[in-house]
Amino acid sequence: MKMGILGGGQLGRMLLQAAANYTVTTYVLENDPQCPAAHLCHYFVQGDIQDFDTVYRFGKQVDVLTIEIEAVNVAALEKLEQEGVRVIPSASAIRTIKNKIHQKTLYQAHAIPSAPFVVTQQQTELTEHLHFLPAVHKLGEGGYDGKGVQILRIEADLPQGFNAPAVLEKMVPIAKEIAIIVAVGQDGSTALYPPVEMLFDPILNLLDYQLAPASLPEQTLWRAEAIALKVVKALQSAGLFAVEMFVDTHGEVLVNETAPRVHNSGHHTIEAHECSQYDMLLRILLNYPLGNTNARSTSALVNLIGAPNYVGSAYYEGLQDTLRMENVYVHLYGKQQTKPGRKMGHVTIMGKDVTDVMHKANLVKHTLKVISKNTIHE
């Protein structure tokens, strides 16, 4: 079986680590030959995942094709599907998800709870929707890792809105941010991972701390699971999906957004769950039975992001001390250059309870830092 991955970042890297448990032949398409996944595949192809011809030619070589980022040429995937290449997630699921307007419209069409929204085509329209403030303005296409998202609190913020098709979404009073990873097999079978609970860095807007399983009242858990399943049913595609949700202050569960791929919120599954999200996606791609999503223990996830003010060759300060800690698992993505906010690695902490893993997660956050010893100050 020949498996292709569009994109060669850390998600591809970890997928390929897991792929070496099977007999699959692996292909990666990515512009950067120094990317985290480049050296772990059988065949690395340098090229642009957004270019029709490049993606089409790459896809023709393989039996099954997946993505590790949504910003790919979907038209090429559609043609490949028509010609018999298995594309997981499907081209149409990617097309829906990569555009936030389509994504919100899908939720609306399937009565999946999400924050109230309007679609705006240009910045000047925003003044018509003052009653939506405070709101989040999300670019239809092109947003990633916190880019393409603007908080518009008051009328004076409106000039910062996007002058392009976008979603203006009412801010909801968030009690908790959670995510559920859902696996959908080629035969339509599904498996849900327990929800995780997230904390965001308010400045860089990148996930930097996570707890699993989320601490939720049973009713909320059931609601979140039902909603996550509803999302993947609406998408009508095999694959692995991360459904990010808000629990608001009234206990309502609202979908924030969905990623049609292995996800940052599932890194902890490598050690802390019976079947990792990477192994699970491989099982889906290779048409094997879905794995077991049970947690082995409570876990926390700390993202290692490039420290502020450091640009240059990456140095992992505190690595030795971190590696000395028990039940602490370090993953470095092998990126040579660090810059503020860049995802450079993650650390999973397993433990007997929430107190235990949170204590250790804080210790890791204060111990391990990605800096540079030859920083070029910007």
Q: Interface residues for a second copy in 218-277 (CB under 8 A)?
A: 274
Query: How far, in Å, CA of 277 to CA of 342, rounded?
Result: 22
Q: Is the separation of the CB atoms in 363 and 347 below 8 Å?
A: no
The alpha carbon of residue 231 and the mean position of all alpha carbons in its chain are separated, in whole angstroms, by: 16
Residue closer to a second copy (CB basis): 148 or 334 = 334
Q: How far is the CB of 61 from a second copy (least distance, A)?
A: 15
Residue closer to a second copy (CB basis): 326 or 378 = 326
Q: Which of 69, 195, 253 is nearest to 143 (CA)?
A: 69
Q: Interface residues for a second copy in 290-319 (CB under 8 A)?
A: 291-292, 294, 296, 314, 316, 319
Q: Interface residues for a second copy in 271-290 (CB under 8 A)?
A: 274, 283, 288-289
With tokens 């991360």, the residue in question is 242
Query: How far, in Å, CA of 333 to CA of 341, rounded?
Result: 14
The bridge status of strand 253-259 relative to strand 337-338 is: unpaired
Q: How far is the CB of 318 from a second copy (least distance, A)?
A: 12
Q: Tell me which stretch binds a second copy (CB under 8 A): 12-20, 91-99, 191-199, 218-226.
A: 12-20
Residue closer to a second copy (CB basis): 215 or 294 = 294
E-strand ranges in 64-189 read 64-67, 86-87, 117-120, 135-139, 149-152, 166-170, 174-184
* End-to-end Cα, the chain, rounded Å: 47
Residue closer to a second copy (CB basis): 26 or 264 = 26
Query: How far, in Å, CA of 47 to CA of 51, rounded?
Result: 8
- How many amino acids of this chain bind a second copy (CB under 8 A)? 34
How many CB atoms are located within 10 Å of the residue 289 CB?
11
Number of H helices and number of E strands within the chain?
10, 21
Q: How far is the CB of 48 from a second copy (least distance, A)?
A: 23
Q: Is the separation of the CB atoms in 280 and 290 below 8 Å?
A: yes
Residue closer to a second copy (CB basis): 13 or 263 = 13
- Would you count residue 326 as binding a second copy (CB under 8 A)? yes
The DSSP element (H or E) to which 60 belongs, if any, is: helix 52-60
Q: Is the separation of the CB atoms in 190 and 196 below 8 Å?
A: no
Which residues are 120's β-sheet partners?
A: 166
Tokens describing residue 38: 């480049």
Q: How far is the CB of 331 from a second copy (least distance, A)?
A: 5
Q: Is the separation of the CB atoms in 332 and 345 below 8 Å?
A: yes
Q: Interface residues for a second copy in 349-378 (CB under 8 A)?
A: none
Residue closer to a second copy (CB basis): 160 or 320 = 320
How many CB atoms are located within 10 Å of the residue 209 CB?
18
Q: How far is the CB of 364 from a second copy (least distance, A)?
A: 15
Residue closer to a second copy (CB basis): 32 or 274 = 274
Residue choice 1, 2, 22, 186 for contact with a second copy (CB under 8 A): 22
Q: How far is the CB of 20 from a second copy (least distance, A)?
A: 5
Instruction: Write the single-letter amino acid at 366.
Output: H
Residue choice 133, 204, 234, 330 for contact with a second copy (CB under 8 A): 330
Residue closer to a second copy (CB basis): 128 or 274 = 274
Residue closer to a second copy (CB basis): 224 or 284 = 284
Q: Is the peptide bond before 116 cis (omega within 30 degrees of 0)?
A: no
Residue closer to a second copy (CB basis): 106 or 350 = 350
Residue choice 324, 366, 374, 377 for contact with a second copy (CB under 8 A): 324
Q: Is the separation of the CB atoms in 128 and 141 below 8 Å?
A: no
Q: Interface residues for a second copy in 36-65 (CB under 8 A)?
A: 39-42
Residue choice 130, 323, 352, 353 for contact with a second copy (CB under 8 A): 323
| Interface positions with a second copy (CB under 8 A) | 13-14, 16-17, 20-23, 26, 39-42, 274, 283, 288-289, 291-292, 294, 296, 314, 316, 319-320, 323-324, 326-327, 329-332, 334
